[in-house]
Amino acid sequence: MQGKIAVEEHFAVGETTAKTARYPTKGYWADLRRRLTELHDERLAAMDRAGIEIAVLSLNSPAVQGVPVAADAIDLARRANDFLAETVAQRGNRFAALAALPMQDAEAAALELARCIRDLGFKGALVNGFSDIADGESVVYYDRPPYLPFWAEVERLGVPFYLHPRDPPPSQALAYDGHPWLVGSPWGFAVEASLHALRLIGSGLFDIHPKLQIVLGHLGERIPYDLWRLDHRLKQVPGLRMKRTIADTFAANFHVTTSGHFSTPALIHAMMALSADRILFAVDYPFEDNDQAASWFDTAEIAEADRMKIGRHNATRLFGLSLP
């Protein structure tokens, strides 16, 4: 399929590369770092080979979320967003942008999002999970009451919020003790992102702000496959703040992407759980390979109408892209 739009494609600026440099395979990190910071010829050639017309770019993980001092996080987010805006301006027919946000400070995050949408032409935000903070607590999640004004601004702006994973917080290290292979993208990423998403649902956020649209990568961080059991068991839990079931909320307020999860059975299950209207194509470049993602997606055993929705039309609608 030509003309695909890939919606979770990463870049890095100088100081956001350090925490990603953990891959043990010889030469792998050097190659990955080069592709994270290269935003022109090599990246565009890889997109062309895979039939990707537009890549929606976002800052790598954990980036701003890993900066515990709020003032430093605010500065990094602004500089990264300005850099990305300059890049997109040079290649507006090939790139779109998602804002990095300093979620350590909810008010500053709302202001930076508004600036990015209003002044820089960004299409939404991508936040790398919880944020490190320096006020005596280790991390902060965004279901807490101080974040309600931030979510009100996201709803007012009418843009999607992509909740991307990061490694679990240090307080959960014991669960992975002796099994470091579970940390990160093989398992820990999905555990962390799905927990955060479920916290948002359980807080009643989407009853207060019913127009919010959240995006999860990796075909939903495993949530679509547990919707029935979640609601089945929660029937026994008193005092829940949410008014709707998790399945109903997920179907109305969430979208999932194919980033880094190139499995046809998983895709078909997500389509059955959410419908093809709420699934978007993504690669997770450069952590994943454009050619592998495209060769899988272009031949997956789904209807061509659904392939066009997932590969292009849903992204055009959700991110407000102006395309032929």
pLDDT tens across 259-284, in order? 999 999 999 999 999 999 999 999 99
Least confident of 128-142, 212-226, 234-248, 253-267: 128-142
User: pLDDT, tens digit, for every residue of 150-161?
Assistant: 999 999 999 999
CA distance 106 to 111: 9
Q: What is the pLDDT of residue 26?
A: 58
Domains of the chain: 4-318 (3.20.20.140)
Q: Taking 60 as the threshold, does the pLDDT of residue 136 lie above it? A: no
- What is the rounded average pLDDT of the residues 188-215? 97
- What is the rounded average pLDDT of the residues 233-246? 93
Q: What is the pLDDT of residue 25?
A: 57
Which residues are CB-neighbours of 101 under 8 A, at least 6 positions away? 64, 77, 109, 112, 113, 125, 127
Neighbours of 28 (CB within 10 A): 11
User: pLDDT, tens digit, for every residue of 29-39?
Assistant: 778 889 999 99
Q: What is the pLDDT of residue 14?
A: 82
Q: What is the pLDDT of residue 230?
A: 97
Which residues are CB-neighbours of 271 under 8 A, at least 6 positions away? 279, 302, 306
CA distance 77 to 72: 9
Catalytic positions are 284
- What is the rounded average pLDDT of the residues 306-316? 98
Q: What is the pLDDT of residue 172?
A: 86
Q: Taking 60 as the threshold, does the pLDDT of residue 167 lie above it? A: yes
CA distance 85 to 104: 22
Q: What is the pLDDT of residue 134?
A: 82
Q: Which of 160, 18, 166 is nearest to 98 (CA)?
A: 160
Q: What is the pLDDT of residue 268?
A: 98
Terminal Cα distance for the chain, rounded: 16
User: pLDDT, tens digit, for every residue of 283-297?
Assistant: 999 999 999 999 999
Q: Taking 90 as the threshold, does the pLDDT of residue 299 lie above it? A: yes
User: Residue holding tokens 């592998």?
Assistant: 292
Q: Could you list the beta-strand ranges (E) of the chain.
A: 4-11, 52-59, 95-97, 125-127, 131-132, 139-140, 161-163, 214-216, 254-257, 279-280
Q: What is the pLDDT of residue 21?
A: 47
Q: What is the pLDDT of residue 135?
A: 63
User: pLDDT, tens digit, for every residue of 84-114?
Assistant: 999 999 998 999 999 999 999 999 999 999 9
User: Residue holding tokens 């999002």?
Assistant: 113
Q: Taking 60 as the threshold, does the pLDDT of residue 80 lie above it? A: yes
- What is the rounded average pLDDT of the residues 220-248? 95
With contact defined as beta carbons under 8 Å apart, do 109 and 128 qualify?
A: no
User: pLDDT, tens digit, for every residue of 15-74?
Assistant: 877 655 455 555 677 788 899 999 999 999 999 999 999 999 999 999 999 999 999 999
Q: What is the pLDDT of residue 187?
A: 95
Averaged pLDDT score across all residues of the chain: 94
Q: Whole-prediction pTM value?
A: 0.96
